[in-house]
């Protein structure tokens, strides 16, 4: 009598292929979920960054407007602030370059008029400004509209009101 031994201890080729396909599908799903999460994180990070930059710009403008003795809104894109007897601060938005310029003239007794030379850029936070407008309401409140943008997103801050403390409003436009 011959005794036959059963040697079915390994996996067949079909079983190995089924397991490989299942592992591949699970891996693809995990990678897709991870990439969606990463894109969501980047989107939110950029949006928060734009909001922080807008707050920084507004807080700098608010501080200087509140310390003003006199203000002049020459156009929607230009604000001149007088602090003390001889210090003038000018914010000017150049729409072609999409840049806000900042300039200080110290030591003048009268409004500078056409003496605004050597315009210097303010901080890097102002480079992502796509538009900034200054308006004056009937009750002497300064209204600021601000739009920031980067490669993928934009952030708009509309009708931000700044209440100056003590100042005289010079003629507008």
Q: What is the DSSP string of 50-104?
A: HHHHHHHHHHHHHHHHHT-SEEEEEETTEEEEEETTTEEEEEEEETTTTEEEEEE
Main-chain dihedrals φ then ψ at residue 86, nearest 5 degrees: -135, 15
Contact (CB, 8 A) for 65 and 72:
no
Cα dihedral 116→121→126→129 (10° resolution): 60
Q: Which positions ≥6 away from 21 have C-beta within 8 Å?
A: none
Q: Which of 30-34, 92-96, 149-153, 166-170 bottoms out in mean pLDDT, i.e. has the lowest?
A: 166-170
pLDDT digits (tens, 9 = 90+) for 35-91: 999 999 999 999 998 999 889 888 888 888 888 888 888 888 888 888 877 777 778
Q: Which positions ≥6 away from 76 have C-beta within 8 Å?
A: 133, 134, 135
Distance CA 12, CA 14 (A): 5
| Average pLDDT score, the chain | 80
Contacts 24+ apart (CB under 8 A), 19-26: none
Query: What element of type H or E holds 47?
Result: helix 13-66
pLDDT category at 29 given cuts 50, 70, 90 is very high
Residue 41 is predicted with a pLDDT of 94
pLDDT at 171 over 50: yes
Residue 126 exposed, middle or buried by CB count within 10 Å (0-12, 13-18, 19+): buried
Q: Which residue has the higher pLDDT, 137 or 128?
A: 137
The model carries a pTM of: 0.69
Contact (CB, 8 A) for 79 and 134:
yes
Distance CA 118, CA 142 (A): 26
């Amino acid at each position: 009598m011959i005794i036959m031994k059963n040697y079915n201890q390994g996996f067949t080729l079909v079983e190995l292929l089924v397991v490989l396909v299942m592992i591949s599908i699970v891996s693809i799903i995990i990678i897709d979920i991870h990439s969606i999460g990463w894109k969501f994180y980047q989107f939110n990070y950029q949006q928060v960054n734009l909001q922080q930059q807008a707050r920084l710009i507004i807080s700098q403008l608010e501080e200087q407007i509140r310390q003003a003795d006199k203000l002049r809104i020459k156009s929607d894109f230009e604000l001149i602030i007088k602090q003390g007897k001889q210090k003038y601060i000018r914010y000017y938005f150049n729409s072609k370059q999409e840049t806000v310029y900042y300039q200080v003239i110290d030591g003048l007794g009268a409004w500078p008029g056409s003496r605004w030379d050597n315009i210097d850029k303010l901080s890097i936070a102002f480079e992502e400004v796509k538009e900034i407008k200054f308006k004056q309401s009937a009750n002497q409140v300064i209204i600021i509209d601000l739009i920031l943008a980067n490669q993928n997103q934009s952030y708009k801050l509309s009708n931000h009101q700044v209440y100056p403390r003590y100042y005289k409003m010079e003629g507008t436009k």
